[in-house]
Amino acid sequence: MCDPISAILTAVSVAGSVAGGAVQAEGIRQQAEANARAEERRAELAERQKEVNQTQASFERRRTLQQLERVQGFNRAAGAERGLSETGSLTDVADDNAFEAAQTVEAIRYRAEGQRDNLTFEANTALERADSYRQAGSIGATGAILGGVTGAFTTLGNAYYSGAPLKAPRGAR
């Protein structure tokens, strides 16, 4: 390793190993960060969708109750027009309509709760994946740096030992 060209080549190789490890580490870190940001956006989208679903469910419940009021008003008017009192079959029809509307409102509520729970799970899972991507990126970057440093030391060791003659062990002669 005495000749200057070998020393320069060894130095360039060592610098290249270290720089390559650093560049690879930065690439791994950036990819992990991009994946993590994408997962965070998925979580945000799920949260927004929960709000949209809740608004939609509220609208559907309100519309169902308004339809019930219209039907009951129509039935009362039709009954009064025919001279029926608000007892007997007219009351039965009103009760049936109210029961059906209540069932519809409950179905809307249950569906909205199920969607909300699914979207909450989806958002939480996306955030967990984001954390995992960041951890994997950190570990991958550390591994790339260690690989670069190890490569540099291997190059130095090879250069050092290639310049010195190998000697046989003492008892082997």
The residue-averaged pLDDT of 79-89 equals: 71
Residues 6+ apart with CB under 8 A from 53: 112, 115, 116, 119
pLDDT given for residue 1 in this prediction? 46
Contact 140, 27 (CB under 8 A): no
Contact 139, 29 (CB under 8 A): no
Quick one: DSSP state of residue 173? -
157 burial level (CB within 10 Å; 0-12, 13-18, 19+): exposed
Q: What is the pLDDT of residues 97-151, one digit of tens each?
A: 889 999 999 999 999 999 999 999 999 999 999 999 999 999 999 999 888 888 8
Cα atoms in the Cβ-side hemisphere of radius 13 Å centred on 96: 7
Residue, of 166 and 100, whose pLDDT is higher: 100
Percent of the chain exceeding pLDDT 90 equals 45
Residues 6+ apart with CB under 8 A from 39: 126, 127, 129, 130, 133
Q: What is the pTM of this model?
A: 0.64
pLDDT band with cut points at 50, 70 and 90 for residue 87: low
Percent of the chain exceeding pLDDT 70 equals 90
Q: What is the pLDDT of residues 29-42, one digit of tens each?
A: 899 999 999 999 99
pLDDT given for residue 3 in this prediction? 75
How far is Cα 139 from Cα 1, in angstroms, rounded to an integer?
35
